Amino acid sequence: MSEKEIVQERLQEKQRMINAGKHMTKLFIVTSFLIFVTLLIVWILQQLPDLIIPTIYEVATWFILVSSALIVMSQMKIREDEIEKAFRFTGLGLFFGLLFSVLQVIGWQELLNSNLSFRNILFPFAFIHFIHVAVGLTLLITVFRKIREYRVHSKSRQYAYNVFTFWHFLGGVWLVFIFLG
């Protein structure tokens, strides 16, 4: 096998790995979406009175929006190979994501003290969302480390973009939860 053929084979293998990562991210988002849609359908079928979303969750919404905006800024800086700025934006996005998760857990107490119907619908939703947020934060930490090690840049950004896509999905699910409540 010639050197040129070896290089082409390696490039093809790298592209297959990138495509596999994209497909895994999409599959994870679809399965997560199905979980949340199931909870939403149960909520609708329960014919509950208006839900009272904990006030702290309204505050938490701002934190997830800021986190997502910072992650978008990081994506832009990665595309432009401004790695130091991408590192800072990702770090700040991670920080606001952590604040969001803390507020989400604090809100559990209010959910647990609410009437039985609210607790049966809202608490499982909040708990399952928190598990997904914990996964998202863990993935953001790995991206943060990879950026710091200059392993994420304009030519090698797919892993980071997959993680960022998942993070934005979690923010979107949260927004639906808040606005439907």
Query: Taking Cα atoms as reference points, which of 85, 93, 84, 83 lies closest to residue 164?
Result: 93
Could you give the angle at which helices 55-79 and 158-180 cross, rounded to 10 degrees? Answer: 160
Residue range 8-48, pLDDT digits in tens: 777 777 777 777 777 777 777 888 888 777 777 776 666 55
d(CA 14, CA 29): 23
Residue range 157-173, pLDDT digits in tens: 888 999 999 999 999 98
d(CA 96, CA 69): 10
Start-to-end Cα distance in the chain: 62
pTM for the model stands at 0.78
Residue range 104-147, pLDDT digits in tens: 999 888 877 776 666 667 778 888 889 999 999 999 999 999 99
pLDDT band at 60 (very low <50, low <70, confident <90, very high): very high
Domains of the chain: residue spans and CATH: 3-180 (1.20.120.80)
- Separation of CA 103 from chain center: 16
- The pLDDT score that the predictor gives to residue 48 is 56
Percent pLDDT > 70 in the chain is: 90
The stretch 41-60 carries a mean pLDDT of 74
- The pLDDT score that the predictor gives to residue 115 is 63
Two tokens, residue 160: 């980071």
Q: Examine the pLDDT at 178 and tell me if it is beyond 70.
A: yes
